[in-house]
Amino acid sequence: MSKILVTGGTGYIGSHTVVELQNAGYDVVIVDNLDNSSIQILDQITEITGKKPEFYELDLCDEAATVDLIAKNPDISGVIHFAAHKAVGESVQKPLKYYRNNFFSLINLLTAFAGREVNFVFSSSCTVYGQPDKLPVTEEAPVKRAESPYGNTKQIAEEILVEVSGANSNYHVISLRYFNPVGAHESALIGELPIGVPQNLVPFITQSAIGKRGPITVFGDDYNTPDGSCVRDYIHVVDLAKAHIAALRRQEEAKMSGNFEIFNIGTGKGSSVLEVIKAFEESTGVKLDYKIGPRRAGDVEQVWGDVSKAENELGWKAELGLEDMMKSAWAWENYIKEHPFN
């Protein structure tokens, strides 16, 4: 079976994808600088799968170190690239941090594979669509001016990948534009582990529910949505992880049409912030303390995806619902309360 490099593999989506890769029989090499994750996640992955992935602590913004690593691993045939800063709100406040990290890491990685055949799965985002004209949004929707520096890094990264794969047929690239990943592994051994105050809704909900944070702020209740709060397509992180396996298999089986493809990865259904809060309360029996605040810079009003292309061409479909997402996130929050991470 192939050896796959997973960048950012101790992070939230990365760790779940490593588990699914190992369960599918792949050998995995993780690269992570541990900037927003914990080395302890390696032990958690090992406990779930019975196999410890190979690990390198390395910053992909270091070109020489990245090129050296890839040169020393000639049997790597595929890459799943997660390593990037990803908080919309922080990117508005610290744009240079996002441009420096997200571009340099990608360019160095592509440079390191120059002259080698490689299957490359890129972690993109629905943020590339901005506020779509039509919903659900399809892969053919125009890419609008990004609402945040984070979204802009995903747009430009995709442009880089289009041009690099167009200039060199050795690069086979699939960009997965996913919506809002939430939830945790059913074992409750891995999940979202934000450093500091969570930038995303669900970990803030679980931390508030367990008493680690104060009231939840709903950023705006005056949007043009059914209940006035922002609407997103929330997808269970395990479903999302499995989409990366489907993308790799499409590449390995030479089923791609051209050297660059894009797929939406979501459930195809939108849920509002207030609906997520209600789903958490109903699925866990825990009441939440929340308040309405002003709108947040960079937030899109509503977006959810048309995922029929992924279903038809990748043979992948989301299977877990909002209740599963909330229950698993809550089980994970309770686990880390009893087993704190460094």
Q: Which residues are catalytic?
A: 150
Phi, psi of 149 (to 5 degrees): -55, -35
Count CB-CB contacts under 10 A for residue 82. 24
β-strand pairing of 231-232 with 271-272: antiparallel
Give the separation between CA 191 and CA 181, rounded to whole angstroms: 11
- Decide: 130 and 145 in contact? Cβ < 8 Å: yes
Question: Residue 172: beta bridge partners?
Answer: 119
146: tokens are 């990004």
Give the closest residue to 82 by CA, choosing from 115, 109, 50.
109
b/e map 89-126, b = 16+ CB within 10 Å = bbbbeeeeebbebbbbbbbbbbebbeeeebbbbbbbbb
258: tokens are 């051209």
Question: Residue 124: beta bridge partners?
Answer: 177
DSSP3 helix / strand / coil % (the chain, rounded to 5):
40, 20, 40
How far is CA 321 from each of CA 6, 114, 198, 334, rounded to the nearest angstrom?
26, 41, 22, 20
